[in-house]
Amino acid sequence: MEIHEILESVKEGKISINNAKKLLSLYSIEEVEGFVKIDINRRKRRGIPEVVFAETKELDEIKKITKKTLEKTNSLIISRIKKNDYPKILVFAKRLKVKIKTGKNSSSLLLFKNPIKFHGGKVGIMTAGTSDIGVAEESRLMCEAMNCKCITSYDVGVAGIQRVFPILKKMINEDVDCIIVAAGMEGALATLVSTLVDIPIIGIPTSVGYGYGEKGIAALASMLQSCSLGLSVVNIDNGIAAGGIAANIANRAIKKNYSS
């Protein structure tokens, strides 16, 4: 339906206001100088903020997209920023007078205007090694952008398996709604965690490793072949996707709890 048809249908009582809002949300697209169309209403429609994949974009394009998006929404994630562009984007964000959250060992940023309230669910995030932290931090930024509280613990892989149990116990006691596990090499940590809890697990195979299964291939294959039910897997190094899925699970869980 075109916009005028939606409005006429509301006026004539053919559709409800709520249905009209859903239909109108499809039109919430902002175009920037003919080279990008921003899905402004994604947060309201799906609960997921706009994410700018910076690795393949020019600095000037990133700035224009960032400025336009933050005019219309409260938050924005810029992921995989090129090394030379990173300090320039930080300076640009400060000029826009927005708040900035950075990720440890990560080239991604969360920008937001108003304080983010952690009224969503809880997500646990763990890594097998320190080399996996950057990817895990992308997940944390996404989860926090979606109002989720995160409990993190890094470098708890199976090479020292005893390290995982205290943090897993803490996550269970904190009643997390989902756990993200980032692991490279053979990616075994995701299966291990999945066998120990009744919580949804999202595995992120990371491109850490060398030899026959280098660049995350072995970790991806291992997680996909896992015999532990309750483990789902995203693509190699895809911390953003894992964060979005985990936060959606957690936020729906908290919503169900409040309504019951």
Cα separation values, 44 from 24, 38, 217, 223, 260, Å: 12, 14, 36, 32, 23
pLDDT by residue for the chain (260 residues), tens only, comes to 555 677 788 888 888 888 877 766 655 555 555 555 666 666 666 678 888 999 989 999 999 889 888 887 888 999 999 999 999 999 999 999 999 999 899 999 999 998 888 888 999 999 999 999 999 999 999 999 999 999 999 999 888 889 999 999 999 999 999 999 999 999 999 999 999 999 999 999 999 988 888 999 999 999 999 988 889 999 999 999 999 999 999 998 887 776 65
Cα separation values, 152 from 126, 137, 140, 222, Å: 6, 9, 8, 23
For position 48, what pLDDT does the model report? 82
Question: Residue 88: CB partners within 8 Å, gap ≥ 6?
Answer: 59
For position 6, what pLDDT does the model report? 72
List, in order of start, the domains of the chain with CATH numbers.
Answer: 1-33 (no CATH), 46-116 (3.30.110), 120-258 (3.40.50.1970)
Question: Residue 187: CB partners within 8 Å, gap ≥ 6?
Answer: 128, 203, 205, 218, 219, 220, 222, 223
